[in-house]
Structure 1
Amino acid sequence: MRLFSLFLAMVVSLGTAISLMADDGPQPVRMGSGQMTFDTVPGWGLRPDGNSAIGPTHGSVVIDQAGNIYTSAKAGVFVFSPDGRVIQSYLGKDYSNIHDMEIRDEDGTQYIYGARNNDAEGIKFNAQTGEIVLRLKLPEEAGLGKIKFNPTAITVAANGDIYLSNGYASNHIFKYDAAGKYLMHFGEKGNGLKQFNTAHGMTLDTRYEPNRLLICDRNHQPKGRLLHYSLDGEFIEEVTTGLGMPTSVAIQGDFVSVPDLHGRLVILDKTNTIIAVLGNNPSLAKGKNYNVPQDQWIEGVFSGTHGSFWDAEGNLYVQDWNVAGRIMKLVRVGAGTK
């Protein structure tokens, strides 16, 4: 277990630069430290007129095998090319309010799994065509009665089993098989060692064999934390404590990116030690703030960091929870995964 507060001041002082404004707008900002040093890409993902292309964001980011970037927003799912152009979109009532996503190759076809908090379901759809092939509802077989169903996170095991977290409600995590059949559930709301106070984000932790579930306990008191559970719902350990409000987790190799709603992104190594902090927002008013309009965005400073994903070169794409719709590209200095 590592305390976030012991590292924050050191990492920020070593790795964060201040953006310098030029006549033609913001310049790249360097942030992070050591092998986790990144430069921002000013204006990435904006329309030609300079405005956000996606509208209000409260979602996630994933990347397909071709390198295209999918981000979910209130309006639906937008697909960007690596240079920041919208090349596809899936909009409307079937794709709105996807709070979390995972992408998975299945027999040569890529599928996106989504947790739709406001629409009370999990979905699976073809990443290339948008065809929805599976919907997951609150399982009556779980015997929980008419509880509120407000899913916040979804992930998939190697065998196809699906895990869907009811993070904005009961904090149960439901397990389904690949066809959507309910198998079991575990977890409960609370601040105990084995409880969740907003099981907000979740992914399959492939750094361990057998794989584990890595879960963001966002509102745990006194500070947010990450937990490991087995794929059978058994508590393993607290991974990292003393975080702010960890919203999601994305893994590449030995590294984990952890967006924090306070306005920063933390990177952990294989030992779950914090090795970099990106985009730290020093403003208490603008960190954890949805209502930061685009004209108040600051290059290299995040506001309500909510989703992230790594590309094949080790670059990061980061989404803020934001009224105008903010997604950022961070290019890893000397990029190349190790």
Structure 2
Amino acid sequence: MKQTRREFLATGSTTLIAKAFPFYIIKAKPKLSDEITGHGDFRYRVHQGWGVLDSGKYPVNNCHEMVQTRSRRLFMLTDEPKNNILIYDPSGKLLDHWTLNLKGAHGLTLHDEGGEEFLYITDISSGRVIKSTLSGKIVMELKNPRSEGIYDEFSKFIPTETAVGPNGGIYVADGYGSQFILRYDAKGKFISKFGGDSFLQEAKFKQAHGVAIDYRDKSNPTLICTARMKNAFKRFTLEGKYLETYYLPGAYVSRPVFDGDNLYSGICFGMTPGDYNPKLNRGFVTILDKNNKVVSNPGGNAPVYREGKLDLLLQEQPVFKHCHDVCVDNDKNLYVCQWNAGGVYPYKLERV
């Protein structure tokens, strides 16, 4: 008999959309749920009340992204200026909080640099890209590309995400602005940019919402970039040469998150059958394997491939509204941050 993950361990082992719906908030009290969601080997028990705090003391607006440090602390980024960072332990206990007074804190990347961990934070309200310590001390800030002559005076810069490469180089996704991925060295000196705005050209983006380094082929790391409005992830070399596209019909993907051989992403918007326009409150999570095939959709329908082509992905269980990010912990549980979901705190999806 096949063991569950728990048994095994026990026995020894926006801004197209963001502008259209900028602050559509309906306050709703989260509730506990033991619903099981997901498919195949990636099934989860939903704990909607896992991260709930006193909203008077620790308010959140949109819970944008979350990362886990070596010490197992979970850092969650919100665009509530009173507490941009909430720090949890895996049980949902609040350990600490701090703020940089950012009104549009959006992207959160963790990077280990010689044994010390740093956070890279993007702010869509001010166009800031900040590097800070885990206690919130700013140690570097990238200059706005307009001030450097990288963009002209008419080009928008609204950074949504960062990634840090093997040599410390920084990649910035201008996902709500001019749709470029900008390359910098480890000290913040501009190198080049690639991408740009186009629905039709494969090497360009519509809502380059996320960027991450794919180390699954350790001898040949590459970049995976989000093209949310194209329902796709796009692969590039570290120098910005386009390689290929992974099309996920119906899925308005957020940033790619890697854990082992798998790629995880929140689906912020979905579709309804027969209507190919993005819909509110249709979010779910998607999980791809090492071959970049969808293997599970917590909150969504089971993935089906016909002659190598993936069927339309749709929300099936109304667990989520708009999934903005997924964090995978050391026990392979998931934590889901949501945009425009009534001010809810992160949900925990316990692996079963």
Bin for the TM-score computed over the shorter chain: 0.7 to 0.9
- Whether the aligned pair in 2 keeps the contact of 1:115 and 1:153 (CA below 8 Å) is yes
With over 3 angstroms needed to count, the CA separation of the structure-2 counterparts of 1:167 and 1:257, relative to structure 1, is: same
Question: C-alpha root-mean-square deviation of aligned residues, in Å?
Answer: 2.2
- Aligned partner of 2:125 in structure 1 is 118
- Aligned partner of 1:219 in structure 2 is 229
Percent identical: 27
- Separation in 1, partners of 2:264, 2:90: 19
CA displacement 1:264-316 (0-9 Å, x = unmatched):
000000011110001239xxxxx99xxxxxxxxxx970101101111111111
- Aligned partner of 1:315 in structure 2 is 333
- Aligned partner of 2:176 in structure 1 is 168
How much has 1:115 moved relative to structure 2?
Answer: 1.6
Letter in 1 for 2:38: G
CA displacement 1:130-159 (0-9 Å, x = unmatched):
111111122344542122210011100011
Residue 229 (structure 1) aligned to one of 212, 228, 236: 236
With over 3 angstroms needed to count, the CA separation of the structure-2 counterparts of 1:52 and 1:272, relative to structure 1, is: farther
Task: Map 1:187-266 to 2 at 5 A.
Answer: 187-191=195-199, 192-208=201-217, 209-220=219-230, 224-262=231-269, 263-266=283-286
- Separation in 2, partners of 1:99, 1:31: 27
Task: Map 1:10-49 to 2 at 5 A.
Answer: 26-47=32-53
- Whether the aligned pair in 2 keeps the contact of 1:257 and 1:266 (CA below 8 Å) is yes
How much has 1:51 moved relative to structure 2?
Answer: 8.3
Task: Map 1:71-90 to 2 at 5 A.
Answer: 71-75=76-80, 76-90=84-98
- Aligned partner of 1:274 in structure 2 is 294
- Aligned partner of 2:64 in structure 1 is 59
Query: Do residues 91 (structure 1) and 99 (structure 2) align?
Result: yes
User: So what's the TM-score if we normalise by structure 2?
Assistant: 0.77
- Whether the aligned pair in 1 keeps the contact of 2:78 and 2:85 (CA below 8 Å) is yes
- Separation in 2, partners of 1:201, 1:68: 23
Residue 321 (structure 2) aligned to one of 303, 308, 319: 303
CA displacement 1:248-273 (0-9 Å, x = unmatched):
11100111111111210000000111
- Whether the aligned pair in 2 keeps the contact of 1:45 and 1:328 (CA below 8 Å) is yes
With over 3 angstroms needed to count, the CA separation of the structure-2 counterparts of 1:141 and 1:27, relative to structure 1, is: closer
Task: Map 1:172-191 to 2 at 5 A.
Answer: 172-191=180-199
Give secondary structure in 2 for the equivalent of 1:319: strand
Give secondary structure in 2 for the equivalent of 1:219: helix
- Separation in 2, partners of 1:133, 1:26: 39
Gaps of 5+ in 1: 1-24, 282-286, 289-298, 334-338
How much has 1:116 moved relative to structure 2?
Answer: 1.3
Task: Map 1:88-167 to 2 at 5 A.
Answer: 88-93=96-101, 95-127=102-134, 129-139=135-145, 140-146=147-153, 147-167=155-175
With over 3 angstroms needed to count, the CA separation of the structure-2 counterparts of 1:63 and 1:165, relative to structure 1, is: same
- Separation in 2, partners of 1:300, 1:66: 33
How much has 1:50 moved relative to structure 2?
Answer: 8.5
With over 3 angstroms needed to count, the CA separation of the structure-2 counterparts of 1:50 and 1:40, relative to structure 1, is: farther
- Separation in 2, partners of 1:57, 1:187: 28
Letter in 2 for 1:63: Q
- Whether the aligned pair in 2 keeps the contact of 1:73 and 1:325 (CA below 8 Å) is no
- Separation in 2, partners of 1:163, 1:325: 30
- Separation in 2, partners of 1:182, 1:275: 38
User: So what's the TM-score if we normalise by structure 1?
Assistant: 0.80
- Separation in 2, partners of 1:138, 1:269: 36
Letter in 1 for 2:64: G
